[in-house]
Amino acid sequence: MTAVPCRFFDGRTSAPREATLTITPDRKVVVALVGIESRRVHDITDVRIPSRIANTPRHLLLPDGAVCEVRDNDSLDAMRARAERDPLPAGRRFERLLHALDSSWRGAAAALAATAAILYSFTQWGAPMVAGVVVAATPPEVEAVIGANVLTLFDQFNIIEPSELDPNRRNELLAAFTEMKEDAGVTETELRFYTGRRLGANAFALPGGTVIVTDELVELAENDEEIIAVLAHELGHVEGRHVMRRIAQTSSMLVVWTAFTGDVSVAGLSIFAPDRLLAQSYSRNFERDADRFAFDYLGRAGIPPTRLGDILRRLERRMGGTAGVPVWSSSHPGAEERSRSAEDAEAQARDSAEGDE
Ligand SMILES: [Zn+2]
């Protein structure tokens, strides 16, 4: 510990004395007079250290009324910073608290538990809430731009190519989609066909409401009712603005995780952590909502709701865990679960129909 020289005024006599001043790591200010065995030790919190003004000498006021005049501002500030072990600005008190808690394993365990609890709560309840607010505040035009950008990216990376379906076939499906969106009252949407290439048999909704269906999916379907069932499900995602919600949820989780870990790279990893572990649950809620939307429409159109499960099961068999992760099936409940809920929906429709009679 290097001491800085200072001039010591005892507060009673006007003559200064040569002395040294040290700030110890345990936050004590030690003033030692040169030439005699005299040390004054004060707690740093009892010593008033004025702010630095360029390189003018500073006068430190000791609690007993004595004053130390220090010229070596750099050394004084360095000692003080070391002693306070506190390079953090005031706004980072939470990190300081964590650091203090880290010192004991009990504290560390408690901090970890508290952090986990807060992050879990945020991921579970906060993020969907934030996402709802963000999505409500996002104008449809902005969402449409995001969707158009996704499509451009897909195109640039050769993920999709122009559809090779027969134009008459496309027109049939477009007519069915138009009928569906008019029936459901979803106006901001359009259907587009592409060759899926790496996406394979697939259908998905983009931010802004464009629904993409691949030629491969159309070919996979055994009848039009299956395609209509898939389109109805995707229209359910459009109606709920699910894609934008997911984007907003993931982004808000990134922000919160960064705040807690103070590290963007950790937060980057954490995108996957909550997204894989917890977002799964609200992604499932979205899927259930979209299914319900689809079952409602299929019921009105006189199409058995089991058509959705039929094509999904075929899709899963076809994909069978291959490298090409299908956007559609990866984010969707298992075929078994869906078939069950479709059968429930069918039974319900039957019951209510019987009730009407
Ligand atoms: Zn879905």
**CA 284 – ligand 1 centroid, Å:** 9
In CATH, what class is 4-86? mainly beta
The CA distance from 124 to 313, in Å, is 30
**CA 53 – ligand 1 centroid, Å:** 64
Residue 329 token pair: 């099936």
**CA 331 – ligand 1 centroid, Å:** 6
**CA 165 – ligand 1 centroid, Å:** 23
**CA 251 – ligand 1 centroid, Å:** 20
**CA 228 – ligand 1 centroid, Å:** 14
Residue matched to tokens 């040569």: 18
**CA 211 – ligand 1 centroid, Å:** 11
Domain definitions of the chain by residue range: 4-86, 133-356
Task: Between 82 and 267, name the one with better pLDDT.
Answer: 82
**CA 166 – ligand 1 centroid, Å:** 26
Please tell me the predicted confidence (pLDDT) of residue 233: 94
**CA 186 – ligand 1 centroid, Å:** 17
User: In whole numbers, what is the pLDDT of the chain averaged over residues?
Assistant: 79
pLDDT band at 93 (very low <50, low <70, confident <90, very high): low
pTM for this entry:
0.57
Residue 206: DSSP 8-state: P
**CA 5 – ligand 1 centroid, Å:** 73
**CA 143 – ligand 1 centroid, Å:** 18
Contact 304, 179 (CB under 8 A): no
**CA 342 – ligand 1 centroid, Å:** 14
**CA 214 – ligand 1 centroid, Å:** 15
pLDDT band at 261 (very low <50, low <70, confident <90, very high): low
pLDDT in tens, 300-324: 999 999 999 899 888 877 765 443 3
Report whether pLDDT(354) > 70.
no
**CA 195 – ligand 1 centroid, Å:** 20
Residue matched to tokens 């979209």: 290
Parallel/antiparallel/unpaired status of strands 58-61 and 67-70: antiparallel
**CA 175 – ligand 1 centroid, Å:** 22
**CA 294 – ligand 1 centroid, Å:** 10
Least confident of 74-78, 182-186, 206-210, 351-355: 351-355
**CA 328 – ligand 1 centroid, Å:** 6
E strand or H helix that includes residue 95 = helix 93-102
Cα–Cα separations (whole angstroms), residue 66 to 22, 26, 31, 35, 211: 16, 22, 10, 18, 79
DSSP line for 253-290: HHHHHHHHHS-HHHHHHHHHHHHHHTHHHHHHHHHHHH
**Residue 320: how many CA atoms within 13 Å on its side-chain side?**
2
**CA 118 – ligand 1 centroid, Å:** 29
**CA 327 – ligand 1 centroid, Å:** 9
Residue 223: DSSP 8-state: S
